[in-house]
Structure 1
Amino acid sequence: MARTPAADKDSAASKKTKSFEQTLWATADKLRGTVESSEYKHVVLSLIFLKFISDKFELRQAELIAEGNGDYVHMVEFYTMTNTFYLPPDCRWDYIAKQAKQDDIAVKIDSALHQIEQRNKSLRGALPDNYFSRLNIDVSKLAALIDAINNIDTVLKNEGSGEAKAAAEEDIVGRVYEYFLGNFAATEGKGGGEFYTPKCVVNLLAEMIEPYHGKIYDPCCGSGGMFVQSIKFIESHQGNKKDISIYGQEQTSTTYKLAKMNLAIRGISANLGEVPADTFFKDQHPDLKADFIMANPPFNLKDWRDEKALVDDPRWAGYETPPTGNANYGWILHMISKLSDNGVAGFVLANGSMSTSTKGEGEIRKQIIDNDLVDCMIALPGQLFYTTQIPVCLWFLTKNKKEQTFSDGRKQHRNRQGETLFIDARNMGSMIDRTHKELTAEDISLIASTYHAWRGEPVSPLPLGEGLGEGREEQRTHPKILEFARELRKNQTDAEALIWQALRGRKLADAKFRRQHPVGHFIFDFYCHEHKLAIELDGSQHYQPEALQADKARAEFLAQQGIRVIRFDNRQVLVETEAVLESIYLALSALTPGPSPKGRGEYQDVAGFCKSATLADIQANDYVLTPGRYVGAAEVEDDGELFEEKMQQLTHTLFQQMAEAQALDAVIKQNLKGLGYVG
């Protein structure tokens, strides 16, 4: 990964945290023989939740005794005042852990969860109901899982205090939840997408719409990932999470419970409706006008209503009724109806939504465009989702494109009436395994900063000393950084050594790479100046909060320089070397666009990447919103070689290869003849 001289190798704390996640997953995965994969996530996450709230309860009880308030340890009010759930003795984790090997342990867990839900109003409808008893889980496997969870320290008893301590505790359990939700989604494949949206997509949505202040809404909230990331966005930008209100709805009962638990462990208050319910037929927030909407509706949902149902629904006012065969435009119109006068919505849809004309969908899209609601369209790369391998897109709608000034942390917007930004991000992202890709922090920063620059938001100039001379990075680099880079070259990891063997001497796509190369104040594992491409290999340190914060600062710097970064995990390099090299080759083959050459955040159209189009442009393209129609093709750099000379060289190579093929064919025929097979 990119490093500074102060950066250490993987810390002990990092290894410990990563280790218990992986160990816990391996233990939980053993349930597969007795419980369906679609079910056991609820078993695991319910137990983690119980462990966390029990640890919090015991810590609060100890605090009361230490403060001389031992007489009040059984009074509920003294726990709720610190956002701690009160737990009766037979609902506490230590009781469950001691009873883990008893034949009736499933009944005891169900009883504990039921009592906790009844005693705590905010958890109503959140916890499984007689779930463990009904599953008939093998007692030995359930006991092993309880033992594994028992080793997690979910609270920090002697470190820090106040909000910082609480945030750290929530992050420990939150990371476990995030890790498990992602792994469950990968395991379940298509079904996994019902409760999980890839983290990089959620991050991009949050960075684009900047939900600092007001009401946030998700009409199909899954496990609550959009809300969690909104809170993280606010905290990372020094905002106050008390400045927002969260509203959501989820139809699937088990997923609804997942969301309530996911938010509860992070101390996030939300109104998800009284019960799980269909957003179209039982809207639990009928009068809501949201300032921000973030959503990932089910792709291309069929038969979502009967022919005569919802025909005159007020949410379709001014538009044709969405067709029964696909709910995409039903979701779009529902979200438009929920936007406040200055509201903005960002949501995921299948690519077909940008161009379809089936059964009135084209007319609805035309009306949305004519009403000047479409602010930005982004085409994403394929393989981001566990639910589908096909590419998807992001829509960004707003009720107000006029010039605006904000007091909530957002920067001033220019007048964008009659304009729409198109971004083609299909060539971005890095492979994280053989079938899945993710957007890096630098990808997200580049896309979001392009959108913000287009909206006219002022961007601060580069910090002093971070400018780059063309091809002369070292001359602007502090001598100590150069010395540190030389030390890193002497102590490369196995993964770095393997990649360097494949890159050195222009072996891959004739690109000249340097290893442990300084750029500004950062050192990249591998860097190619001519392509402005950096490669980073990450150990577990990269996933720690401090490292992620450093990544964000670096991402902003790199986006301003037009540098593309692709990341790989060290293990991925060693195990899936060919896939990693293929990803690097593809990144080199595509022209990666950068922001304005001025490096100060001023927006410019970039061929093959972004285009600011007018309403007339969209009308000329039959109201199709596919970014590829507008951004055009990326400029191809002339290699300076005459066509005649190149053609002669290519022809010579082709004839040489054809001759070699004939020789090989003759050898194969001779070998077959020797085996008695004569043609």
Structure 2
Amino acid sequence: MNQQNLSAFIWSVADLLRGDYKQSDYGKVILPFTVLRRLDCVLKGTKQAVLTEYEEKKAMGINPEPFLLRKSGYSFYNTSPQDMKMLMGDHDHIRDNLYSYIQEFSPAVRDIFERFEFHTQIERLNKSGLLYQVTEKFAQIDLHPENVDNHQMGLVFEELIRKFAEISNETAGEHFTPREVISLMVNLLFIEDDEVLSKPGVVRTIYDPTAGTGGMLSVAGEYLEEHNSQARLTVFGQELNPESYAICKADMLIKGQDVANIAYGNTLSDDGHPQKHFDYMLSNPPFGVEWKKVEKDVRKEHEQQGYNGRFGPGLPRVSDGSMLFLLHLISKMRPVSEGGSRFGIVLNGSPLFTGGAGSGESEIRRYVLENDLIEAIVALPTDMFYNTGISTYVWIVSNRKPEHRKGKVQLIDSSEFWQKMRKSLGSKRKELSNDQIEEITRLFGSFTEAEKDGKPISRILNNSDFGYHTITVERPLRDENGNIELGKKGKLKGMKQPNVSLRDTENVPLVEEVEAYFKREVLPHFPDAWIDNDKTKVGYEIPFNRYFYMFQPPRPLEEIDAELMAVTERIKGMLEGMRA
């Protein structure tokens, strides 16, 4: 059964729920039952061996858990003699038997169903007389990994969540990222380390602070498995949404990962992995979401811990917390002495340029650029995400840049690298093909300036190219006779007084001398002007589009005049025809 047919089959359960459930509540039933059936199928092949082992160790008075894990072949097990198909043999006791079956799972699995608040739905379905029918529906589908692999199962979960989010008017894109975007990010993350990652027995850690259903972690694992089956990728994550967290945890269980590494809660206010550092990281934090709910905790950490905490460089405006995740990831980098780190993060356009010199956003950009942390920024096409059509950018950040990248930032404009989807999914109308992912990866790997169809698509710039001094230009206050007014008291005595209404600011590129700029650009127009040096600030912005702008010269005047004359003659002819 392919992914679309499987999703349609599971979605057909909604027909049973209609009338007893609001559409917005369908997911509360369908998601946990899908997870339950998946786990049920996964354990099928080793179930009898686990039950035999359980009885033996119980009779011997030995803690059976490590033996059961070994027998099950996974990091979880179930000691109930029943499975979902056997539950169908007792219509009258379906509620009690289902509870009993779930209770016999190992603790990590029971926690998954607690996060789903599955007991609430069991009671509700039972009272509606629907529990047996719904359970039977799921017992009919085969979700064994031999028939539905982990990648396909992940896509099923994502499609279901997207549908439920659309029905509920929730933000689907907060829960997951399109798989081809993840594939691109993983390629960019690993390409410079292919030689290291190909060594037998290599072990690396990867972390996603906004893990969603675990898609990014899964694709990273698939990449490494494909390139080196002997490599080991240990995954860590944190997720705020309880349903997404439950699915992520279930997915990691099946893949043999330690689910204790997947934390629950708000990453910004309650870091689930304090003091930990990672080799690689990936994140797609929510776009343009305010952080007012966690403002107290974040400001406290910023003010009390400074650079010893996560948010030392500065805080962005409360209306958009995405740059807080950028800082959080930077704080999770391994020290260079321990091998360093690289991470990819998806951000909207705002973090590139929002905020003038001295603002929180500018100070964060200043920190990452002056510490030479940005390897590349890749512009993605619009309409790539399920919940928004805005422009998005992948930042590749590292504290272990290769020698040839040091002091440089590569900007890649892949906004025209897309193909139209056969069917739109929410706001997602475009997708990246495998060939386009490979082309973008090659551009990054080659680290050269490049053009396509006469337009630049890769630019290499110095870190300092993004910096500037904001200078305050003052002009004197004059009396009614035009004489310059001087200060009469204190430190200002005898000094020219500035006319506040004539005050202006200028942004001077960091690579240029301020005085030389002032003499060339300001003094010829305002000979009486001066710079208030006490107000000079350093700022950083990344005006991405400016570096890819192609000047289109206007058409010759003769051509425009000829067109206007032709239009005029046409109008005159029409008017004459009306008179006739």
Does the C-alpha gap of structure 1 residues 90 and 418 become closer, same or farther in structure 2, counting only changes over 3 Å? same
Whether the aligned pair in 2 keeps the contact of 1:377 and 1:625 (CA below 8 Å) is no
Partners of 1:320 and 1:70 lie apart in 2 by: 55
Asked if 1:446 is matched to 2:439, the reply is yes
Residue number among 188, 211, 215 corresponding to 1:225 in the alignment: 215
Per-residue deviation, residues 417-449 of structure 1 (Å, max 9, x unmatched): 111011223333234345422222233222222
Counterpart for residue 206 of structure 1 = 186
Asked if 1:436 is matched to 2:428, the reply is yes
Residue number among 327, 350, 367 corresponding to 1:352 in the alignment: 350
Counterpart for residue 324 of structure 2 = 330
TM-score normalised according to structure 1 size: 0.60
Alignment of 1:485-634 (within 5 A): 593=452, 607-619=455-467, 620=509, 623-633=540-550
Asked if 1:112 is matched to 2:101, the reply is yes
Asked if 1:262 is matched to 2:251, the reply is yes
Per-residue deviation, residues 520-552 of structure 1 (Å, max 9, x unmatched): xxxxxxxxxxxxxxxxxxxxxxxxxxxxxxxxx
Does the C-alpha gap of structure 1 residues 56 and 616 become closer, same or farther in structure 2, counting only changes over 3 Å? closer
The gaps in structure 2 that reach 5 residues or longer are 59-63, 198-202, 468-508, 511-538
Counterpart for residue 282 of structure 1 = 270
One-letter identity of the residue aligned with 2:394: L
Report how many aligned residue pairs link the two structures: 477
Asked if 1:305 is matched to 2:295, the reply is yes
The gaps in structure 1 that reach 5 residues or longer are 1-12, 157-164, 404-414, 457-561, 563-591, 595-605, 667-679
Partners of 2:567 and 2:134 lie apart in 1 by: 61
Does the C-alpha gap of structure 1 residues 623 and 122 become closer, same or farther in structure 2, counting only changes over 3 Å? same
Whether the aligned pair in 2 keeps the contact of 1:420 and 1:614 (CA below 8 Å) is yes
Does the C-alpha gap of structure 1 residues 140 and 293 become closer, same or farther in structure 2, counting only changes over 3 Å? same
Residue number among 311, 316, 319 corresponding to 2:313 in the alignment: 319
Whether the aligned pair in 2 keeps the contact of 1:126 and 1:257 (CA below 8 Å) is yes
Counterpart for residue 501 of structure 1 = none
Per-residue deviation, residues 58-115 of structure 1 (Å, max 9, x unmatched): 32246789xx99986997625533424432437521233445x65x745654443344
Q: Could you tell me how far 1:651 is from its partner in structure 2?
A: 7.5
Q: Could you tell me how far 1:345 is from its partner in structure 2?
A: 1.2
Per-residue deviation, residues 589-609 of structure 1 (Å, max 9, x unmatched): xxx937xxxxxxxxxxx7342
Q: Could you tell me how far 1:186 is from its partner in structure 2?
A: 4.6
Who wins on radius of gyration, i.e. which is larger?
Answer: 2
Counterpart for residue 39 of structure 2 = 53
Counterpart for residue 235 of structure 1 = 225
* Aligned partner of residue 428 in structure 1, secondary structure: coil
Does the C-alpha gap of structure 1 residues 390 and 239 become closer, same or farther in structure 2, counting only changes over 3 Å? same
Alignment of 1:187-202 (within 5 A): 187-202=167-182
Higher relative contact order (CA 8 A, sep 6+): 1
RMSD: 4.2
Does the C-alpha gap of structure 1 residues 625 and 352 become closer, same or farther in structure 2, counting only changes over 3 Å? same
TM-score normalised according to structure 2 size: 0.70
Partners of 1:626 and 1:185 lie apart in 2 by: 34
Partners of 2:415 and 2:571 lie apart in 1 by: 34
Partners of 1:650 and 1:272 lie apart in 2 by: 70
Residue number among 139, 148, 153 corresponding to 2:142 in the alignment: 153
* Aligned partner of residue 326 in structure 2, secondary structure: helix
Q: Could you tell me how far 1:361 is from its partner in structure 2?
A: 1.5
Whether the aligned pair in 2 keeps the contact of 1:185 and 1:196 (CA below 8 Å) is no
Counterpart for residue 371 of structure 2 = 371
Partners of 2:317 and 2:383 lie apart in 1 by: 28
Partners of 2:47 and 2:111 lie apart in 1 by: 20
One-letter identity of the residue aligned with 1:344: R
Alignment of 1:15-164 (within 5 A): 18-28=4-14, 31=17, 33-36=19-22, 39-61=25-47, 77-78=67-68, 80-84=70-74, 85-89=76-80, 92-99=83-90, 105=94, 108-118=97-107, 128-133=117-122, 135-136=124-125, 139=128, 143-155=132-144
